[in-house]
Amino acid sequence: MSEECIRLEFNVDRGNFASAGSASEAVKTQLKLLGINSKDVRRVAVAMYEGEINMVIHADGGTAVVEIYHDRVEIVLADNGPGIADIDLAMKEGYSTAPDEIRSLGFGAGMGLPNMKKNTDEMRVESVVGTGTTIYMTVKLG
Ligand SMILES: Nc1ncnc2c1ncn2[C@@H]1O[C@H](COP(=O)(O)OP(=O)(O)O)[C@@H](O)[C@H]1O
Ligand SMILES: [Mg+2]
């Protein structure tokens, strides 16, 4: 028996700070419409927003696929960016390779990946240097 879900797909444009966060915003709206509790909506939105921003800042943009099931939301963020050489290091609070001009825009505090971890029930980072990064996240609902 296949499980029903609502599937949403987004392109996240590189270097586009104006539209950065639009995918997580759309998912937030959809989850609210479905009557998902605000705590879970917030967890999904925060985790997705940080991942989106990372694809804009650190990669060449990418794609976000979100599947909403009755008991969970599954998010896959994939990019063809530079990859992450040391994932354990990248996951540390405060670690950032963002350049000064990005920091001056208010990004690059090194809290994105730790916040993604904190706001999800499962998170797996797959990355190959020179090829790209794929992040799988699951937020349980209720
Ligand atoms: N999609 C990505 N592609 C390449 N590197 C990434 C990606 N996401 C995160 N990183 C690396 O992990 C570091 C930590 O990410 P994060 O915790 O979000 O902090 P910040 O984005 O503020 O630098 C980044 O500075 C970057 O070096
Ligand atoms: Mg970040």
Does residue 127 line the site of ligand 1, with CB under 6 A? no
Domain limits, the chain: 6-140
122-128: long-range pairs with CB below 8 Å, 24+: 123/47, 125/84, 125/87, 125/90, 125/91, 127/83, 127/84, 127/87, 128/83
Among residues of the chain, what percentage have pLDDT more than 70?
99
Instruction: Name the CATH superfamily, with its identifier, for domain 6-140.
Output: Histidine kinase-like ATPase, C-terminal domain (3.30.565.10)
Other Cβ atoms closer than 10 A to 32? 13
The residue whose CB lies within 8 Å of the most ligand 1 atoms, and thus the one to mutate among 84, 136, 137, is 84
Return per-residue pLDDT of the chain as tens, 142 residues: 679 999 999 999 987 777 889 999 999 999 999 999 999 999 999 999 999 999 999 999 999 999 999 999 999 999 999 999 999 999 999 999 999 999 998 899 999 999 999 999 999 999 999 999 999 999 999 9
Tell how far the Cα of 21 is from the centroid of ligand 2, in angstroms: 12
Does residue 54 line the site of ligand 1, with CB under 6 A? yes
Q: pLDDT (tens digit, 9 = 90+) per residue, 4-38?
A: 999 999 999 987 777 889 999 999 999 999 999 99
82: tokens are 């530079």
User: SS3 for 86-132, per residue?
Assistant: CHHHHCCCCCCCCCHHHHCCCCCCCCHHHHHHHCCCEEEEEEECCCE
DSSP-derived 3-state class of residue 142 = coil
Does residue 58 line the site of ligand 1, with CB under 6 A? yes
In angstroms, rounded to a whole number, what is the distance separating the alpha carbons of residues 12 and 19?
8
For atom 27 of ligand 1, the residue with the nearest CA is 97
127: tokens are 């990355």
Supply the pLDDT for residue 16. Answer: 78
In angstroms, rounded to a whole number, what is the distance separating the alpha carbons of residues 5 and 115?
26
Which atom of ligand 1 is nearest to 62's Cα?
Answer: 1
Supply the pLDDT for residue 1. Answer: 67
